[in-house]
Amino acid sequence: MAGSSASSGRPPLFATEKPARVAAYAYRLFAGTVLAGLLLIWLYRATHLPPRSSSSARWWAWLGLFAAELCFGFYWVLTLSVRLSPVYRRVLPDRLTQRYKEEELPGVDIFVCTADPTLEPPMLVISTVLSVMAYDYPAEKLNIYLSDDAGSVVTLYALYEASEFAKHWIPFCKKYKVEPRSPAAYFARADSPPDICGPKEWSTLKEMHKGLTDSVNSIAHSGKIPEASEYKVMGFTQWSEDATYKDHPSIVQVLIDGNKRKTADIDGNALPTLVYMAREKKLQEHHHFKAGSLNALIRVSSVISNSPIIMNVDCDMYSNNSGSIRDALCFFLDEEQGQDIAFVQYPQNFENVVHNDIYGNPINTVNELDHPCLDGWGGMCYYGTGCFHRREALCGRIYSEDYKEDWSKAVRKTEEVDELEGTARSLATCTYEHNTLWGIEKGVRYGCPLEDVITGLQIQCRGWRSVYYNPARKGFLGMAPASLGQILVQHKRWTEGFLQISLSKYSPFLLGHRKIKLGLQMGYSVCGFWALNSFPTLYYVTIPSLCFLNGISLFPQITSPWFVPFAYVVVAAYSCSLVESLQCGDTAVEWWNSQRMWLFRRISSYLLAAIDTIRRMLGISESGFALTAKVTDSDASERYKKGRMEFGSFSLMFVIIATVALLNMTCMLFGVARVFLHEGATGFEALLVQAVLCALLVAINFPVYEALFLRKDSGKLPASVSLVSFCIVLPLCILPTNIQI
Ligand SMILES: O=c1ccn([C@@H]2O[C@H](COP(=O)(O)OP(=O)(O)O[C@H]3O[C@H](CO)[C@@H](O)[C@H](O)[C@H]3O)[C@@H](O)[C@H]2O)c(=O)[nH]1
Ligand SMILES: [Mn+2]
């Protein structure tokens, strides 16, 4: 165990553990053998280049493979950074309780973001809000802010209803220590009351929650709020008829003023402060998506509560662990090791993933292996949700050793709520940031679809550290997209963001030079260069198969000693990945599914992201933020549960996927037929590796063939995609390969 707070004489509030040394050495040894295999492959490619004169197609194909293998090799070296040096954190919240009285604990501001009441239903949003309102933390110290980028009256209505329901829900949670504290998640799972709770109390609350759900859903459906007078006196009056999602004034409404204690729960206890904010939007002003709303929240909260700790979650990511605030504080408040910690990131876990998820959604290996390694290098990334920040660090402060945080500093500039709301509104106008450092040096960064990662990197480059905390009871649960199209679009946005960072002056290697460790720079680049995998992968899954069809051999014969490094690298890499996956809790089917998703993402999302990034760098296009839908229609969600991939509509990404799948099937069928007809079984000797590669690609693409030929439901691949793919595959397969290029 590292880091005892020896000099302060106080026992530490958290512990850091490293795996046994022998495991680390064994991994290094293994990595060394794979590296040796890679070097031999490169050597083989360089020394066996076919003469150009005999077959120029073979020469070109060979060169391309060499380039692809060089790329894979370098990328693999980068990925070593997320396998060496993991650390695991454990918190000791009992010590925190012993050391700090409740009134000495710091204030915490929690930000929840939503942007569209259709894609993000208000009921989902308020379930998240209620879950964070019910944290096991003194209500006077807790302030919840909801940013509604749509400026939707329906969302405010839902939040108002939630504030009423909270008066019953929070005391219930605290009295019976229920988990999780999202009422929707709780009632979906619990079918009987907690032990000491009477059935009447439980069923009354359950009914009340059902009433809330029905009323919010029906208002969301109709888009009209009830005429009843109570709603008119609130911020509802501020909506004018012509306000739209993209054009509306700033609205700040304090729904529960924790300071005034006018509003108490049914037991007479204080409730956390609850604020609704819709920042101003104008068509001609760039609003910078989520980053813009987070920065507006930082400013608005600074005049209302100004807590030294800020936590932010996406609207679909409810708190699943009521102890998370205290856990996170163990890091910040540790006298010896906490001074330079800027943020504590929790992993992203999903509530809606099914067993043997077809999209490989459980990201267990990333959560269990990659992230602890980033932490080991001193800098877990900021992933935009489920993250506790030190306000000062988020607002641009450079770390210095003599800096001491004043945890009790929360200020409230005025007692009058009207005045407060007025000041807060002026901080949420779209002109406020003109000629300021907001979005550049202050707050969350603008101009990148991955505002979170670049912001985290910048904070680390200012001398701060971050930690990763992955407790057994998950801190947060969100919604994973459950349709292929949505996943690919989401990954395209992320990949574009990562590549943009990697190719800019904010790249981890440039910005982080001498500021963060080399291992961390490489760790960032693992995702940073996702996009660059796209070209070699696309090459590897098409050219060797086409060459197989045409009888062009590109790999050593199975009897040649050069076959050994190829076989070793592939078998070693894939078995290691399978073992890791199983160790982290995935099933073998999930591993196989995630390999398929890797392939799909690389040839579609990553490829288009790379192309779009180049276009953006040339000034041809601008990056946006395609919101991920959090609702799936019921047929589609049934298909998801049955493990059917959801295609449905025409998209360029589906065309690429279908084309690669069709191409491989054609090459396999006609390639095998050609060898047998012309050369007999001995003809396979030189083509065996390609035949196996082609067969594996056919096997992994099985769901695509199903969607192309077998399925009748509305999630199959549309005929237009099949048609375009056929039109591409056909000429490719009959293209003569003996032309001199
Ligand atoms: O203009 C916008 C767009 C989005 N959001 C909010 O941002 C969050 C994330 O959007 P979502 O569509 O769910 O994107 P995801 O791809 O699921 O988000 C992941 O990736 C984002 C970066 O691309 C991070 O910001 C998120 O935290 C991370 O969960 C949601 O709460 C949205 O309401 C806004 O507030 N304003
Ligand atoms: Mn999301």
Q: What is the domain partition of the chain in residue ranges?
A: 21-82+515-738, 96-480
- The C-alpha torsion from 685 through 689 and 694 to 695, rounded to 10°, is 80
Check residue 739 and give its pLDDT. Answer: 47
Determine the residue of 129, 146, 285, 290 to mutate for testing ligand 1's pocket, defined as the one with the most ligand atoms within 8 A of the Cβ atom. 290
- 47-66 pLDDT tens trace: 999 988 767 889 999 999 99
> Which of 265, 316, 357, 452 does the annotation list as catalytic?
452
Cis peptide before 180 (omega within 30 of 0): yes
Give the pTM: 0.94
Q: What residue owns the CA closest to ligand 1's atom 36?
A: 290
User: 514 C-alpha to center of ligand 1: Å?
Assistant: 31
User: Within 10 A of 676 (CB to CB), how many other CB atoms are there?
Assistant: 12
Whether the per-residue pLDDT at 5 is higher than 50: the answer is no
Whether the per-residue pLDDT at 617 is higher than 80: the answer is yes
Whether the per-residue pLDDT at 298 is higher than 50: the answer is yes
Once rounded to an integer, what is the mean pLDDT over residues 613-642? 83
Whether the per-residue pLDDT at 740 is higher than 60: the answer is no
SS3 percent helix, strand, coil of the chain, rounded to 5, is 50, 10, 40
CA distance 472 to 346: 11
Check residue 11 and give its pLDDT. Answer: 93
Query: Given the CA of residue 294, which atom of ligand 1 is nearest to it?
Result: 35
- 509-526 pLDDT tens trace: 999 999 999 999 999 999
User: 120 C-alpha to center of ligand 2: Å?
Assistant: 10
Check residue 357 and give its pLDDT. Answer: 92
Q: What residue owns the CA closest to ligand 1's atom 34?
A: 290
| Burial environment of residue 384 by CB neighbours within 10 A (0 to 12, 13 to 18, 19 or more) | buried
Q: Residue 279's closest CA among 404, 433, 131, 466?
A: 433
Q: Which residue has the tokens 């839908």?
A: 629
Cα dihedral across residues 116, 120, 125, 126: positive or negative: positive
What's the residue count for the chain? 741
Check residue 380 and give its pLDDT. Answer: 96
Whether the per-residue pLDDT at 3 is higher than 70: the answer is no
Whether the per-residue pLDDT at 2 is higher than 50: the answer is no
Whether the per-residue pLDDT at 533 is higher than 70: the answer is yes
Whether the per-residue pLDDT at 426 is higher than 70: the answer is yes
Check residue 681 and give its pLDDT. Answer: 79
Whether the per-residue pLDDT at 1 is higher than 90: the answer is no
Check residue 408 and give its pLDDT. Answer: 80
Q: pLDDT band at 6, cuts 50/70/90?
A: very low
CA distance 655 to 717: 9
Residues 501 and 453: beta-carbon distance below 8 Å: yes
Whether the per-residue pLDDT at 4 is higher than 50: the answer is no
Structure tokens of 351? Answer: 């509530």
Check residue 102 and give its pLDDT. Answer: 92
- Tell me the ipTM for this assembly: 0.98
Percent of the chain at pLDDT > 70 equals 96
Active site includes 257?
Answer: no
- Structure letter (DSSP) for residue 516: S
Q: How far is CA 615 from CA 496, 538, 606, 612, in A?
A: 11, 20, 14, 5
Q: pLDDT band at 259, cuts 50/70/90?
A: confident
- 451-483 pLDDT tens trace: 999 999 999 999 999 999 999 999 999 999 889
Determine the residue of 627, 630, 632 to mutate for testing ligand 1's pocket, defined as the one with the most ligand atoms within 8 A of the Cβ atom. 627
Check residue 266 and give its pLDDT. Answer: 92
CA distance 385 to 317: 8
Query: Given the CA of residue 114, which atom of ligand 1 is nearest to it?
Result: 33
According to DSSP, the residues that pair with 350 across neighbouring strands are 478
Whether the per-residue pLDDT at 507 is higher than 50: the answer is yes
Is CATH 3.90.550.10 the right assignment for the domain spanning 96-480? yes
| Burial environment of residue 284 by CB neighbours within 10 A (0 to 12, 13 to 18, 19 or more) | exposed
Give the full edge-to-edge strand order of the sheet including 108-114.
251-256, 273-278, 142-148, 108-114, 309-314, 387-390, 341-345, 465-468
Residues 251 and 277: beta-carbon distance below 8 Å: yes
Check residue 261 and give its pLDDT. Answer: 62
Check residue 232 and give its pLDDT. Answer: 67
Active site includes 452?
Answer: yes
Once rounded to an integer, what is the mean pLDDT over residues 283-295? 95
Tell me the residue type at 643: G
Q: Which residue has the tokens 């920040």?
A: 389
